[in-house]
Every structure is written in C-alpha cells, then in structure tokens.
A and B are shown apart, each in its own frame.
Chain A
Amino acid sequence: MKNSSRRGFMGKAFGAVAGVGAIASLYAMKKSWDPLPSVKAAGFTTLDMSGYKDNELVTEKWRGKPIFVLKQDAAMVETANKNPKDIERLIKIGDAYYMVCIGLCTHLGCIPGYRPDSKDFLCACHGGMYDATALVTKAPPPRGLDIPPFKVDGNKLVLGEEGPEYKKMKETGITL
C-alpha cells in the first residue's frame, strides 16, 4: 500500500511537470508558425497618384497582394455620388477620386477582373460582381473589396499606414 501510494504520487508529480512542459512547447510551436518579423516589416508601399488614367485599372502590389487603383472618370463620380455608400469608398486626392482596394474577392480570395466597358468587376471563380467603387452587386461575396490601410501624403498614398481618412472609413464601417 505504501509503495503504491508513492507510485501514485510519482505519477501525479510527473504528470504535472509534463503537463506544464507540454503547454509550454505548444506555445513555442504556435509562435514558430507566426509570420517572421522580416515578413511583417516589409509591409509598406508608396504610390504616386499622378500617373493614373481615367477608367484604367492598374494593379499594384502590397504585402504580396494585388492592389487595384482605378481613377474614376466624370461619369463614374456622378454615378457614385448618387449612392453615399459608393462615394464614401473613394479616396479624394486633389480634385480626382480614386478607388483603391485589395484586389482579392472577399468570398475566397480570387482576383476579380475589371471590365472597362460595363465599368464593373467580375470574379470568375464563383461569379461574384462589384461596381466601379468595388461595392458588391452580386453574391456570393459578402461585402465590397477591402480597402488597405492608407495615408494620404500630398500627391502620394502610403499603403500599410493608417491615416485619418482610413480611420474614418474603418469607424463608419466602409471597410473592415
């Protein structure tokens, strides 16, 4: 009896120490899978906004993701003005309005294609559609294309930094 209770104690003591060790190693394993600091640090892109042309989609790159930049022509701005949800998604630099967003479908991350004639986006994967300000017009995507964190800096746009315009968009729920 004496022996077996000693064994029981040894078993519990071992179990307790091993349990702490197991939790600690799970933590280490989780952290080892995290994105590396070098990956996180390379997360800023600066765009010069003066070079874009009306109704011509340009794809830039930020954090390995495609960024759509679409300078709106007069007709598009007029259409967007009719819907507050549309106009609030645009970034105004000088007198021009730009649609800047992450070019990955909010459904499952395919890249939608822009159709300049009908001025909308079509995602070929599952048939989702967006208007010229990348607001969703046909499911399955649950919402418009996400707007990356940005900061207006004169005629330039810094992606990855949160400026006041971006913070406002986030507060009002224009983007996530």
Chain B
Amino acid sequence: MAHFTKATSVKDWLNQRLAIEKVEKVMASEYWIPKNINFLWAMGMVLVITFALLLVSGIFLLMYYQPNVNLAFDSVNYTIMREVDFGWLWRHVHGVAASVVFLIIYIHMFTAIYYGSYKKGREMIWISGMLLFVAFSAEAFSGYMLPWGQMSYWAGMVITNLFSGGSLHADGLVEWIRGDYVPAQAFLNRFFMLHVLLIPVAIMGLIGLHFGALRIPHVNNQDGEEIDFDAESKKYLAGDKAGSKVIRFANDFMSKDMMVVAIYLVFFFYLVFFHYDFAMDPVNFDPADGLKTPTHIYPEWYFLWSYEILRPFSTNIGLMAFAFAQVIFMLLPFLDRSPNAVPASRRGLFKFWFWAMLIDMIVLTSMGKVPPIEPFGTIGFYAALTFIGLWILLPIITIFEKKA
C-alpha cells in the first residue's frame, strides 16, 4: 500500500490522494501553446463555452418539456415560454447557441483548412473534429424535432426518407427508424432520447478524443513551423520567457482565449436578447400537421449547403452527391497530397482552391434558402458541380505543389 503522511494542508491532503499538482501541470500550466497564433486559435474555447451554454440551458428546458405528440408543442410554446420564470431565457439561449455553434464550427474548420492544421501528425485532430461535426449535426436535427411544430415534423419526414436510399426503396428501414409509418409518438420519444442522452454522451466522448489528439502533435501556428516543444518549454521554465516560442496553456494562453470568449459572449447575448428570432423559424410556431406540408421546406442555415447539393439532381444522383458531401471533408488529410503544412497563401494553387471552396459553400448556402425557381436552380446546380469538381481537383493540384 502507498505510504501516506499526516497532511499539512487541504492541498497536501488532496495532493497525496489525487496528485492534483501533477494533474494541473499536465492539463494547464505545463501544456504548451505556440506564441505565434491569432484570435482564430480561440475558437476551440469559444466552442467549449457554447457547449456549456447548451448543456445548462438544456437542463432547464428538460425539466418542463413533455416528449408527447399532444403535449410537446404547448410544453415549449406555452409552459416554457409563458409560465416558467425565465423559461424564455433558456429557450432562446438554447436556440441561439444551437445555431451559433455551427457558425463557430465552420470558422474553426476553415481555419484548420487555411493553416494546414490537418497534416503532419494532426490527422486525428481533423478526423475527431469531423466526427464531432457529424455528432453536432445529429444533435441539432434531433433537437429540432422536439417542439413538434410544422418544420419539426416535415424536416423529420424528409430526413428520415433519405434512408430509403432512393431507388433501393428501403421503406422498412425508414419505418424502423421512425417506429411508425410516419413520424409519430415513437419517433418523437426516440429522438428525445437521442437528443438528451445518447448523442450528448457521444459528443462528450468525442471532445475528449479531440483534446487527446491534440496533445502529441500540439497546436499548429500561423507559419506551420515545426516547434521543438521540449526545448522551447525548457527555455521558458529556465526564465527565458521572451526567447521561448511557447507559453503556458494556463494562465497565459487562457487569458488571451477568454478575451476572445468575452467579445464573443457580448455578440452572443446581443443575439439572445435582441435577435433570437433568426434561430426561431416562424413556420415552426404552427403545430405539426401530417396532412399539410409547409409551402417551402428548408433546413436551418447550417445544413443549407449540403441540402443544396442534394436538391438540383434527380433522387439517386442527388443522394449520392449528398452522401459524398457528408463524408468528403473527413478525407481531407489524405486528399491533400502536399506535405506543406503552411498557410494557404503560400501554397500556390491551393490558395485559390481554399477561397473557391469557401465561396462555393456560401453560394450553396444562399441557393439552398431560396425556393427552387430559376435562375436559382441553375446557380445551385453549377455550385453543386463546382463543389464535387473542387474535391476531384484537390489531389491533382496538391501533388504538383512545390515544397514551400
């Protein structure tokens, strides 16, 4: 048995039993972050804070929400919004955070693409990040079902129908997922379970994996420079803080991080208090009706780009294009054949690829929002083709890239 001595303080008592000093060093004060970074490196912490906001607001919503097709709509729109003190606050925080979290995820993703932060040992960071994107998408979709309004119902109908696989006609699979011929009680109950238990647990596990994947390769920097973290941290600990290329995660880096978080939270709560309506589709304030489709069904803004890749094609080709769009980002570290882990601006053709991809996704997003009429249908069609074309071009242009 380990030897314990009489503790000299509470800290010492805990230290003997939990090694809290060692844990603090490993997790914070001796976890090293490069100095050569900018505010875009704070998006991870912004996401952690947003996830915490979702969790806390979700806990309060969960206390009054009723997962029953007859009660769900009123439990949200009457009980939570009118009866519960500050119920509106939790709902608006939850709704706004669910939307804004995707904005930050996209910024976080495109930062990684721009700076090449998915290469040279950082592949698992990218892959775990994309798995988080998938889990967040499933979380957003299952949560969207819960108010049981018209958009909830019809989004549920359309998305579960995707699983019939077009001409495969796997109607049995669709009915199995729903637990009924159409979205009904069984459907609402199981998506409630997914939203409040299974997917959040998966997300928390994936966040652990994402952080773990970061430890060995460390955070990338603005020049993609390979830093000897052992040597630089020794320099720092020896007192040469100015000469070292790294700083402590806490409190040094965290103080910068929390500055960005603070600015973000001002913007976030401005939306919660004054512009929550952007996250609340007016159509979803009509109760679900299986016999009346809304005139125009569209997903929330963050799914529009992949929806637009589905839309301009016939069913089978559309489904294949959609499936392609869902998985292709996951393969980025392997499709980019260049060993250069430097900012896109120094990578020749990849610079144009990056901006073309970003602009194409914005075009797809805008076209996904408008009704399927001309000229939007044609623009969407070519934007979808451009998306697929860019991914086919990526290995070709990167293989010829000169060593930077």
Contact = CB atoms under 8 A, between A and B. Distances in A.
B190 A109 contact: no
Interface of A: 30, 33-36, 39, 43, 59, 61, 63-66, 104, 106-111, 124-127, 139-142, 176
B179 A66 contact: no
Contact of B180 (A64, A109, A139): A64
B314 A142 contact: yes
Contacts of A140: 311, 313-315, 318
User: Interface of chain A, helix or strand or loop or mixed?
Assistant: loop
Interface in B166-192: 166-167, 169, 175-182, 184, 186, 190
A108 B175 contact: no
B88 to A, nearest CB: 32
A65 B166 CA distance: 19
Contacts of A176: 169
B182 A142 contact: no
Contacts of B297: 110, 124-125
Contacts of A34: 176, 179
Contacts of A139: 314
B291 A124 contact: no
Given A66-B290, A124-B296, A176-B169, A108 B313 contact: no
B253 interface: no
B314 A109 contact: no
Contacts of A124: 293, 295-297, 371
A64 B373 contact: no
Which range holds the interface residue count of chain B? 35 or more
A144 to B, nearest CB: 13
A35 B181 contact: yes
Contact of A59 (B157, B181, B291, B316): B291
28 contacts: A30-B176, A33-B190, A35-B175, A35-B176, A35-B178, A35-B179, A36-B179, A39-B180, A39-B181, A39-B186, A43-B181, A61-B290, A104-B157, A106-B315, A108-B315, A110-B157, A111-B291, A111-B293, A124-B293, A124-B295, A125-B372, A140-B311, A140-B314, A140-B315, A140-B318, A142-B167, A142-B314, A142-B315
Residue among A36, A66, A125 with max Cβ neighbours from chain B (10 Å): A125
B78 to A, nearest CB: 25
B395 interface: no
A124 B297 CA distance: 8
B158 interface: yes
A66 B291 contact: yes
B33 to A, nearest CB: 42
A30 B181 CA distance: 17
B17 interface: no
B162 interface: yes
A106 B190 CA distance: 25
A127 B291 contact: no
B154 A110 contact: yes
A175 B291 CA distance: 22
B200 interface: no
Interface in B135-160: 154, 157-158
A110 B372 contact: no
B292 interface: yes
